[in-house]
Structure formats: structure tokens, C-alpha cells
Amino acid sequence: MNKIKPFVLSCMMLLAGPAWSELVAVSPSGFIIKNRFETTHSAEAIWAALVNDIDQWWPKDHSWWQGTFSIDAVAGGCFCELSDNRSAEHMRISFVEPHQRLLMTGGLGPLQGMGIYGALNWQIIPLVEGSEVTLTYQVHGYSPQGFEQLAPVVDKVQHQQLSALKHFLQSSTPAAPE
């Protein structure tokens, strides 16, 4: 019985979310956060889930109206949310290397209204068996309160978003790769 508990705990930890989360740097002018997980899925399957299925896994509690999310994965494209006649550009796509890298720029959530800008870098790295997904958000701007309290909150949200992608990959079949 005692051997079962550590095994169950280990399995739960593997499913809980990214294996690694780091607040890389915080300064008076911004911060850098990095979250990562490994999966047995191919880079093509991860890309399909990231780009084609974002509405199925992006946490709706991190939206303006719990609308429909989409990514137009071309330079100048939009990571957008639509709800009836309302729309929001969450970020702008600035770099696309299918199955490897998607770079978005802008401020997510309340950062947008604060005039704080960032680069959200999704990287998919093939491994011997599966892939590694790394999400890095490098943010800069001015906040009268500084970034010491804000950066850990954004890190927690990024962790949740990457965990949602990982859970989606584990529990469903992503749409066909483009």
C-alpha cells in the first residue's frame, strides 16, 4: 500500500502542469517568465493544437467575454477573441515558423490597458520521443507600482495557460496540422 501512494502522487504531478516554471528576471522596467513542459506528442500535433484548437483549451476565465478564440498564424495575423459584435485583439502575430515557433507581441489581459508591451514566444523543440514546449513572455513598460508583485501573477497565469494546452494534448486529438 505504501508503494502505491508515491506512484499515484508521481502520476498526479506529471499531469498537474508544466514541469518547469521560472520567473527569469524582474526589473523596474519589466520582467521575463518562462514555462515549459515535455510531451510524447509530435511538433506537428502541438502546432495544430496551438494554432487550430486554441478556442478549445485557452482558459475562458482569461478572456474578455468568454468568446471564441482564434489565431491567424501569419505575420501580421491576430490572436483574437470574438463574442457577438464585440472583438478583441489579444496579441499580434509577428513571427511564424510552423511546428517550431510562434511569436506574438502585445499585452495580455490587463497589461494591454496598462500600456505594457511584451513578446510571447512559443517554441516547440523535437525530442528523441516527443517534444518540449516552452512559453517565454518578455514584458516591458512602465508601472507606477513596479513589477515585483505583477510578475509572479502573470507567471501563474502563463503556467495555467500552458497547463491547459498540455491537458488538451493529453485528453484529445488535435485538429489536423496545417
pLDDT at 177: 53
What CATH class is the domain 8-171?
alpha beta
pLDDT digits (tens, 9 = 90+) for 77-133: 999 999 999 998 999 999 999 999 999 999 988 899 899 999 999 999 999 999 999
What is the per-residue pLDDT for 19? 58
Tens digit of each residue's pLDDT (9 = 90 or more) over 38-84: 999 999 999 999 999 999 999 888 778 888 999 999 999 999 999 99
Minimum mean pLDDT among 25-34, 59-68, 167-176: which range?
Answer: 167-176
Measuring CA to CA, how many Å separate 84 from each of 18, 67, 81, 138?
Answer: 34, 8, 10, 32
pLDDT of residue 173: 62
Q: What confidence category does residue 18 fall into, taking pLDDT thresholds of 50, 70 and 90?
A: very low
Q: Model's pTM, two decimal places?
A: 0.84
Contact 47, 177 (CB under 8 A): yes
Q: Which three cell numbers stand for residue 50?
A: 496551438
Crossing angle of helices 4-16 and 150-171, rounded to 10°: 110
Sequence-separated (6 or more) residues with CB below 8 Å from residue 167: 15, 57
Residue 8 has pLDDT above 50, yes or no: no
Q: Are 118 and 105 in contact (CB under 8 A)?
A: yes
pLDDT at 71: 97
